């Protein structure tokens, strides 16, 4: 409460996330202030984060992982259609929610770094004041360079997440955050079947395209990414 810029970022997160309403997105129900203390109201999600699941069980079989990836494509496509980029997609920001039937579905959380695709100077200033601009392991080359972003940057992050979910490894590896970012900028990613030969070649092609170095070489939308995942599963 003593930092007006932090309060402004929190309010901005609320304003962005309150526009989102999708089963694969954790939106924000309300924003307010009480006694000078700002607060957010969010849904309660009964489940565990994807990062926790990976820690407990390791890589996920494609038969389980691919449906979750398709669901994340849908949630992020909804956000993109509303003009919102996530910019910090990673396993810690995905919840696997348990339904009454016992089945699970994936939910994208934490739009704290999200911003509108077209933002005014005041919004650019708010996002620029954030100390953390993303998570190195999942940042696209253009995000590392501080270039303008669009949906294809989130596609890159989801591709890296999918690679890790399926193999337990990252496609770009480094011993430090700086080495990891350098690998994103200059290195060639590992191929999916280099790590896990039992995975199919069509799935390898889909993941490889999602993490292509140049945005133009990736899928152009989350819908395209989901369609390709559908086709790889035939």
pLDDT in tens, 9-57: 778 778 878 889 999 999 888 888 898 888 889 899 999 999 999 999 9
Q: How many residues does the chain have?
A: 234
Spatial contact of 168 and 50, defined as CB atoms under 8 Å apart: no
CA-based torsion, 208, 222, 86, 162: positive or negative: negative
What does pTM read for this prediction? 0.87
Q: Please tell me the distance from the alpha carbon of residue 229 to that of residue 33, in angstroms, as a whole number.
A: 43
Residue 71 confidence (pLDDT) above 90: yes
Spatial contact of 194 and 179, defined as CB atoms under 8 Å apart: no
CA of residue 222 relative to chain centroid, distance: 11
H or E stretch covering 85: strand 84-85
Residue 133 confidence (pLDDT) above 60: no
The string of pLDDT tens digits covering residues 184-215 is: 888 789 999 999 999 999 999 999 999 999 99
Show which residues are catalytic: 88
- Count other C-beta atoms under 10 Å from residue 101's C-beta: 6
3-state helix, strand, coil in the chain (%, to 5): 50, 10, 40
- For residues 172-182, average pLDDT: 85
């Amino acid at each position: 409460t003593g930092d007006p810029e932090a309060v402004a970022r929190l309010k901005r997160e609320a304003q962005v996330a309150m526009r989102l309403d999708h089963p694969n997105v954790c939106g924000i129900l309300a924003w307010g202030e009480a006694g000078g203390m700002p607060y957010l109201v969010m849904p309660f999600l009964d489940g565990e984060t994807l990062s926790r699941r990976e820690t407990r069980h390791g890589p996920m079989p494609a038969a389980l992982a691919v449906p979750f990836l398709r669901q994340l494509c849908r949630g992020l496509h909804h956000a993109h259609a509303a003009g919102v980029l996530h910019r910090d997609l990673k396993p810690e920001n995905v919840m696997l929610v348990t339904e009454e039937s016992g089945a699970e579905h994936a939910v994208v959380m934490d739009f704290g770094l999200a911003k509108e695709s077209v933002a005014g100077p005041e919004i650019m200033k708010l996002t620029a004041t954030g100390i953390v601009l993303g998570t190195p392991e999942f940042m696209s080359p253009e995000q590392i360079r501080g270039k303008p972003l669009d949906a294809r940057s989130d596609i890159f992050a989801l591709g890296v997440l999918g690679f890790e979910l399926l193999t337990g490894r990252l496609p770009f590896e480094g011993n430090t955050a700086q080495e990891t970012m350098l690998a994103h900028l200059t290195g060639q990613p590992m191929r999916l079947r280099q790590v896990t030969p039992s995975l199919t070649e069509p799935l390898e092609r889909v993941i490889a395209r999602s993490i292509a170095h140049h945005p133009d070489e990736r899928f152009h939308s989350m819908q395209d990414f989901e369609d390709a995942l559908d086709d790889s599963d035939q």
